[in-house]
Amino acid sequence: MLAIGLLAAAGLIIWLGQSALLLISGRRVGLRVSSSGLSKTGKQVGRVIVNASIAGVVVTYPLLRGQGLVAYYGGLLPADHRAMQCLSGFSIAIFYLSLMYVGWVATDNLRFSVRHKVSRVVRRLAVVPLAAVFGAFAEELLFRGVVMADLLDTFGAVPAAVGGSLLFAGAHYIRRVKRYWTFPGHVMLGVLLCTAFLWTGTLWLPMGLHAGGIFLTLGTRPFVRYNGPAWLVGASIFPYAGLAGVSALVMLTAAMRMLYGGYP
């Protein structure tokens, strides 16, 4: 259970760092992580603390197990034919999410339009590829490469997948958020990513799936407006949260089971 301890320590460091920033700014400290009320510089420092804490877990875990970083993560990211699973996962995630958007547009649950100045749209779109790559890379190293792998060493495959999915979902709510009803969607996304890792034994497939979801979600956000009910279409920041999104994740998980369930 080494990974759980490291994850808890990282959460505590993040909370202490955010609390210190809030106190310096004369703001009230709460139980949840929040950058609300901080200056731009304060928020940037907060992001550095979060990223450094995540990196600390990723680096420390294999070292405490007596393994080198290259040897450990090289085994999870083998430089062979399995690397193509990343591209496969990315493409499939884009395809499924695109079908969902098409269905929403056809039923007038979602509309596309230019909602911001062109310069702002260009700036936001320019960071989408990097956000997709680095976001998926960091989260998969942490939640599958460390947490899920550690759970597999302690428990069986099913308990590890369930625990990994719940921890992945819960980690998105340690900070103050606007919506909590999106939790089941995060759990189902965790199930997809954990089982993809379980079935292939590498991080390539879950990284590709994760990056594809981030890429299309962030890429469409400047243009979409949701007309349908939240229980059906989710929220703009997380369209998988509604009934349609959760259903799509279930179907996508089933598709991964057919493609990779017997792999390698």
User: How far is residue 33 from each of residues 36, 40, 56, 89, 134, measured CA to CA in Å?
Assistant: 9, 16, 18, 32, 22
Tokens read off for 12:
């505590």
pLDDT at 264: 53
Instruction: Say whether pLDDT at 261 is over 90.
Output: no
Tell me the pLDDT tens digit for each residue of 239-250: 888 898 999 999
Tell me the pLDDT tens digit for each residue of 164-194: 999 999 998 887 777 888 899 999 999 999 9
Tokens read off for 199:
């079935």
User: Model pTM greater than 0.85?
Assistant: yes
Contact status, residue 208 vs residue 90, Cβ threshold 8 Å: yes
Tell me the pLDDT tens digit for each residue of 12-50: 999 898 888 888 888 887 777 777 777 888 889 889 999
Contact status, residue 66 vs residue 209, Cβ threshold 8 Å: no
The candidate with the shortest Cα–Cα distance to 136, out of 88, 193, 67, is 193
pLDDT at 236: 63
Question: How far, in whole angstroms, is CA 22 from its chain's centroid?
Answer: 26
